[in-house]
Every structure is written in C-alpha cells, then in structure tokens.
Amino acid sequence: MIHPIEQESYEILRSRRRLDHLSPLVRAVTERAIHATADLDYAESLYAKEHDLAVAVAALRSGCPVITDVEMTGAGIANYPTRCYLSSGSAREGRTRSADAMAQAIAANPTGAIFIVGCAPTALYELVEQYLEGAVSPILIVGMPVGFVGAADSKERLAASGAPAVYNRGEKGGSAAASGVVNALIRLAKEPL
C-alpha cells in the first residue's frame, strides 16, 4: 500500500510534469527517481528501455541478486536483499577501492544479477569495461553515479556499451535516485501477474 505522503508526492509530480508519453515501466522508474530526489530534470535525462525493465522485473520475481556499489545505495532499497563488496575492496595505484570492489562483485556474480551504481563512477567504469570484455552478463545495470569527476563520462560509456541499462545523462545522480529506480522495479515485481 502506498503511504498518503508518497501518494501526494506523486500527485504533485504529475501536476508539474506530464510523463504520459513514456511506456509504463519507463514511466514508473522515471517517476520514482523524481520522487526520490525531487528533481524534475530526470524527466528528460533518464534513459531506459521497456524491454530491459520487463526482464529485470521478471528476474526480481525470481529472486535475482542485487549488487550495489556502496552500502548507502543498498540502504535505500526497500524489502529486497542487496549485496555490496566495498568493504573487501582495496585501493591500489591507479585503481580505486570502488573499482576493485566491483571487480570482486563481478567475479562472484558473473551472470544473472542487477548491478546498481549510485555513487562511484569508477565502479561503473569497471562494470562497463568488464561487460565489454564479456566477463559479466548483467540482467540490468542501473548507472547513476554522481559528481563532477567521471560521473557523466562513465554514464556515456554505459550508454555506448549497449548493455541493458537505466542511466541518466550528466553529473547528477546518487544513491537515492539509483535505489529509487530499483524500488520501482521491486514494487512492480511484487504486483500480481
């Protein structure tokens, strides 16, 4: 059941920005990203394909693993277990702790997982590179890191990779937006078939 405050938030959102032109699943994740951030720019900057989202919803119904780049992204996901490898990652010369942790996550989950990057552009770079090398076959990549260094570029690389993905263009992003997208998919997965 949707809480009355959440319902009111969606009503306000819909009064300010019409998203009726979007397909149902794309609309759901876009609205949830906007709801989680109060940032209407996601109406124009968020990209997803209906088919990729439908595959992700089906995978969530089957209990697929959900891997996050940082604990904060995982903390924003409601009623679904997540895994984060950041605590076992280590920084080395030329490599961040986030990239190392993502490499470990990929090694442990080479197929059948949803990967969410809401903080670290270097984690998204690592994920995209390993996808292009054929080392990982994700169900979906939610690539929404935030920041002035690498965030926009890492998302452009994700866009160019052809991977099944949800991402936004530009420097905005963050754990709230990324986990919001996944929360929308989880909510859809829990609906009766």
pLDDT in tens, 85-103: 987 777 777 788 899 999 9
The residue whose two tokens read 């968020």 is 46
Q: Which of 25, 42, 10 is nearest to 174 (CA)?
A: 42
Report the alpha-carbon distance of residue 193 to residue 191 in Å, rounded: 6
Q: What is the pLDDT of residue 190?
A: 92
**pTM of the predicted protein model:** 0.93
Q: Is the dihedral of CA 33, 57, 55, 50 positive or negative?
A: negative
Q: Give catalytic status of residue 35 as yes or no.
A: yes
CATH number for the segment(s) 4-189: 3.40.50.10230
- pLDDT-derived band at 1 (thresholds 50, 70, 90) equals low
Question: In terms of Cα–Cα distance, which of 112, 115, 124, 83 is closest to 182?
Answer: 115
Q: Catalytic one among 3, 21, 35, 51?
A: 35
Average pLDDT, the chain: 92
The residue extents of the domains of the chain are 4-189
